[in-house]
Amino acid sequence: MYEFDWSSIPGALPFLWEGMKVTLVITVQAVLIGIVWGTLLAMMRLSPIKALSWFAAGYVNLFRAVPLVMVLLWFFLIVPEFVGQLFNIPRGTDMRLSSAMAGFALFESAYYSEIIRAGIQSVPKGQISAASALGMTYAQAMRLVVLPQAFRNMVPLLLTQGIILFQDTSLVYVSALADFFGAAYKVGDRDGRLVEMLLFAGAVYFVICFSASLLVKRLQKKYSTA
């Protein structure tokens, strides 16, 4: 039988925490950019201007048809080269983190935009008519009347997507970045304790995501009774 030896974990905690910070930075920036760019995409998709709505539909469908791993590989192997030549960035500059972050943000925006579009469409049409009857422009009606209500309905879904995103960040493994999972893998590989480190990493993800999802459920209850 396998004999567990957890002794390499305590000493590795500072290094793992450094990795967790990378994970959190990628998650938070992808959520923020995802919501902003996703909102814009959703509004384009619903706009009466055909060109805008086609662009948004194409963007969303493209990113939703391609695996995240593939997008990250694009942003690991190809985009840095291309951007480097375009802006004359010296060769060998380490762009892995910023590139992975860009890939995540662009990818997740497609998913956020679908959530936000559904949220906007869940607001009764009369609200827009009422707003324009009050003399508001379309942009004002969106900003002051529709979006605040839409976002209120969407909060639980946006947070749930955030939890999924937090889990997905482990895929930056393909660009050899030391996020939490990458750090755990490195330590386990170095000490010959891969079994313990992988189980530990799994447990940490489970505790974080499970607690977060319980919080979201609570929030949902509070909102739905309000």
Q: Rounded to whole angstroms, how far apart are CA atoms 106 and 75?
A: 11
- How far is residue 174's CA from residue 96's CA, in Å, rounded to a whole number? 11
Closest to 22 measured CA to CA, from 170, 191, 219? 170
* 87 lines the binding site for another protein (CB under 8 A): no
Nearest of 150, 164, 174, 180 to residue 212 by alpha carbon: 164
Please state the closest distance from residue 225 (CB atom) to another protein, in A: 19
Residues 184 and 196: their CA atoms lie apart, in Å, by 10
159 binds another protein per the rule CB under 8 A:
no
| Residue 5 binds another protein (CB under 8 A) | no
Q: What residues numbered 52-81 form the site for another protein, per CB under 8 A?
A: 62, 65-70, 73-74, 77-78, 81
CB atoms within 10 A of CB 24: 14
Residue among 146 and 158 whose Cβ is closer to another protein: 158
Q: Which of 171, 183, 187, 216 binds another protein (CB under 8 A)?
A: 171
* Distance (Å, whole) CA 198 – CA 2: 15
Say whether residue 35 binds another protein (CB under 8 A): no
Distance of CA 93 to the CA centre of its chain: 25
- Among 2, 91, 135, 139, interactor with another protein by CB under 8 A: 2
**In which residue are the tokens 């505790």 written?**
207
The answer to the question of residue 84 lying near another protein (CB under 8 A) is no
CB of 179 to another protein, least distance (A): 10
Residues at the site binding another protein, with contacts judged by CB under 8 A: 1-2, 62, 65-70, 73-74, 77-78, 81-82, 85-86, 167-168, 170-171, 173-174, 181, 185, 194-195, 198-199, 201-202, 205-206, 209-210, 213
